């Protein structure tokens, strides 16, 4: 086993016990110290980040990706502001839930506690480093971060500054650690570090998520892949449908809650599909259609069978004609990634059927899928969007970074 991992795992576990007992006040003090020190050390951070950016540029990385990688005084201030925001959020730890008295006099309840040690495996964007560290700290969890090699110098300096802040506050550096070895082998070992890790959250594309779920022995929360559907039912208000579709597809096509597929009822396809297609194409969206939709739209491309399972993250949408709400539900449950789906309808029965039978984290009636987000849902933060069913589903805030344990107060009871 990799010595770096074993050592960091051990440190994290020890730190997690101390973190679990820290007062909210102390945790907020640490968060403020981290935010201040990131701003104070902005020039060093930018200098280290420049090494990553230059390396990436010399490898021919696209401008879009370089922008996501680059840190400036402004982005660092933004990160610091975000961390101070986390300090203002309610601390979920210590809440007691459902305490009841049993017939034998035992008081049995659940208390909310940190999960322990959380591993986060993520791709290039270095702002995830500080963001994830702050959310884990506020929820009382030690975190082991493992970013991509493209951002290794940025991640090293960010974690080193955060660790200095921990030390200044008298909190163990095991609270926030970075795996500096970015090899695939070490990533795999991290996924299997069951002795120390309580949870693994991958943040990134479909390839990363798949690698983690296939190799991890530590429990994983799958996040973020979104093959999201907008289904326009025959009773839809077509202006509302158009607005929602355009918003869901084009307001930010690169994110996981953007719409990737349009389903429309046969009975209205002839009349409305050309209107919708026109609106989409005006925004530069390419339409990949089933044969029936293509016959109506004409200006689209024919979709392949594999297309229905794909997340484009681009100005592309799959378009399919369906008979009714049943076919729509069946298609979505078969092909979606269980992230977010919307029905646009004015028919109450169809709305309720869709909401009841769709098997996804967020099911919308007459609203854009773009709302699936911790901030939009009012959590004030987000560590990711769970697309699986265990533990947490949908946007995860601080409370999803906690678990419960039963506490039982007795007076000598035996069974």
- Binding-site ranges for a copy of itself (CB under 8 A): 17, 20-21, 100, 102, 106, 108, 111, 113, 115-116, 194, 198-199, 213-214, 217, 219-221, 237, 240, 243-244, 247-248, 251, 333, 351, 355-368, 370-372, 376-378, 388-391, 393-394, 403-415
Distances (CA, A) of 385 to 220, 269, 389: 13, 33, 11
In the complex, minimum distance from the CB of residue 375 to a copy of itself, in angstroms, rounded to a whole number: 11
DSSP-derived letter for residue 304 is P
Nearer to a copy of itself, 160 or 243 (CB): 243
Rounded to an integer, what is the distance from CA 29 to the centroid of its chain?
26
Q: Are 147 and 204 a contacting pair, CB within 8 Å?
A: no
Nearer to a copy of itself, 63 or 406 (CB): 406
Residue 4 burial by Cβ neighbours in a 10 Å radius (0-12, 13-18, 19+): middle
Nearer to a copy of itself, 112 or 320 (CB): 112
Q: Is the dihedral of CA 147, 153, 154, 159 positive or negative?
A: positive
Nearer to a copy of itself, 109 or 205 (CB): 109
Distances (CA, A) of 274 to 67, 143, 260: 36, 51, 18
> CA 394 to CA 375: how far, in whole Å?
12
- Helices (DSSP H) in 22-151: which residue ranges? 24-40, 42-58, 63-69, 73-88, 127-138
Q: Are 290 and 322 a contacting pair, CB within 8 Å?
A: no
Nearer to a copy of itself, 102 or 266 (CB): 102
Q: Is residue 338 classed as helix, strand or coil in its secondary structure?
A: coil
In the complex, minimum distance from the CB of residue 54 to a copy of itself, in angstroms, rounded to a whole number: 36
Residue 415 burial by Cβ neighbours in a 10 Å radius (0-12, 13-18, 19+): exposed
The pair of three-digit structure tokens given for residue 201, joined into one six-digit string = 């959250």
Nearer to a copy of itself, 198 or 311 (CB): 198
Nearer to a copy of itself, 113 or 178 (CB): 113
In the complex, minimum distance from the CB of residue 122 to a copy of itself, in angstroms, rounded to a whole number: 20
User: Tokens 């996501």 correspond to what residue?
Assistant: 68
In the complex, minimum distance from the CB of residue 320 to a copy of itself, in angstroms, rounded to a whole number: 20
Nearer to a copy of itself, 33 or 112 (CB): 112
Nearer to a copy of itself, 73 or 376 (CB): 376
Nearer to a copy of itself, 152 or 258 (CB): 258
In the complex, minimum distance from the CB of residue 342 to a copy of itself, in angstroms, rounded to a whole number: 8
Taking each helix axis from N to C end, the angle separating 73-88 and 24-40, rounded to the nearest 10 degrees, works out to: 170
> CA 249 to CA 183: how far, in whole Å?
36
In the complex, minimum distance from the CB of residue 339 to a copy of itself, in angstroms, rounded to a whole number: 11
Rg of the chain over CA atoms, in angstroms? Answer: 24
In the complex, minimum distance from the CB of residue 1 to a copy of itself, in angstroms, rounded to a whole number: 15
In the complex, minimum distance from the CB of residue 334 to a copy of itself, in angstroms, rounded to a whole number: 10
> CA 20 to CA 403: how far, in whole Å?
12
Spatial neighbors of 106 by CB under 8 A, at least 6 apart, are: 408, 409, 410, 413
In the complex, minimum distance from the CB of residue 231 to a copy of itself, in angstroms, rounded to a whole number: 14
In the complex, minimum distance from the CB of residue 70 to a copy of itself, in angstroms, rounded to a whole number: 26
User: Tokens 């933004």 correspond to what residue?
Assistant: 78
């Amino acid at each position: 086993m990799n010595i770096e991992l074993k050592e960091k795992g051990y440190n994290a576990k020890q730190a997690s016990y101390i973190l679990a007992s820290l007062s909210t006040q102390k945790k907020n003090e640490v968060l403020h110290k981290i935010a201040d020190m990131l701003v104070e050390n902005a020039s060093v951070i930018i200098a280290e980040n420049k090494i990553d950016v230059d390396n990436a540029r010399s490898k021919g990385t696209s401008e879009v990706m370089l922008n996501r990688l680059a840190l400036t005084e402004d982005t660092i201030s933004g990160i610091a502001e975000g961390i101070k925001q986390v300090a203002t959020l309610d601390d979920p730890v210590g809440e007691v839930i459902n305490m009841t008295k049993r017939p034998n006099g035992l008081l049995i309840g659940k208390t909310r506690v940190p999960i322990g040690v959380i591993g986060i495996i993520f791709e290039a964007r270095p702002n995830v480093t500080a963001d994830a560290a702050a959310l884990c700290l506020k929820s009382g969890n030690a975190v082991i971060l493992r970013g991509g090699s493209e951002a290794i110098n940025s991640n090293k300096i960010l974690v080193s500054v955060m660790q200095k802040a921990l030390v200044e506050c008298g909190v163990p550096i095991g609270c926030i650690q970075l795996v500096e070895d970015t090899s695939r082998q070490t990533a795999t070992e991290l996924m299997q570090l069951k002795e120390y890790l309580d949870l693994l959250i991958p943040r990134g594309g479909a390839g990363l998520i798949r690698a983690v779920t296939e190799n991890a022995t530590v429990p994983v929360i799958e996040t973020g892949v979104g093959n999201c559907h907008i289904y326009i039912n025959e009773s839809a208000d077509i202006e509302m449908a158009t607005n929602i579709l355009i918003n869901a597809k084009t307001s930010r096509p690169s994110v996981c809650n953007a719409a990737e597929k349009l389903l429309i009822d046969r009975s209205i396809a002839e009349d409305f599909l050309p209107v919708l297609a026109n609106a989409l194409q005006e925004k530069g969206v390419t339409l990949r259609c089933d044969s029936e939709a293509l016959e109506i739209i004409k200006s689209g491309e024919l979709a392949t069978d594999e297309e229905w399972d794909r997340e484009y993250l681009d100005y592309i949408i799959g378009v399919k004609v369906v008979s009714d709400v049943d076919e729509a539900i069946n298609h979505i449950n078969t092909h979606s990634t269980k992230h977010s789906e919307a029905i646009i309808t004015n028919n109450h029965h169809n709305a309720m059927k869709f909401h009841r039978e769709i098997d996804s984290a967020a099911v919308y009636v007459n609203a854009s899928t773009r709302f699936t987000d911790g901030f939009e849902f009012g959590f004030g933060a987000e560590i990711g969007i769970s697309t699986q069913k265990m533990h947490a589903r949908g946007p995860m805030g601080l409370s999803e970074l906690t678990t419960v344990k039963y506490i039982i107060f007795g007076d000598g009871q035996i069974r």
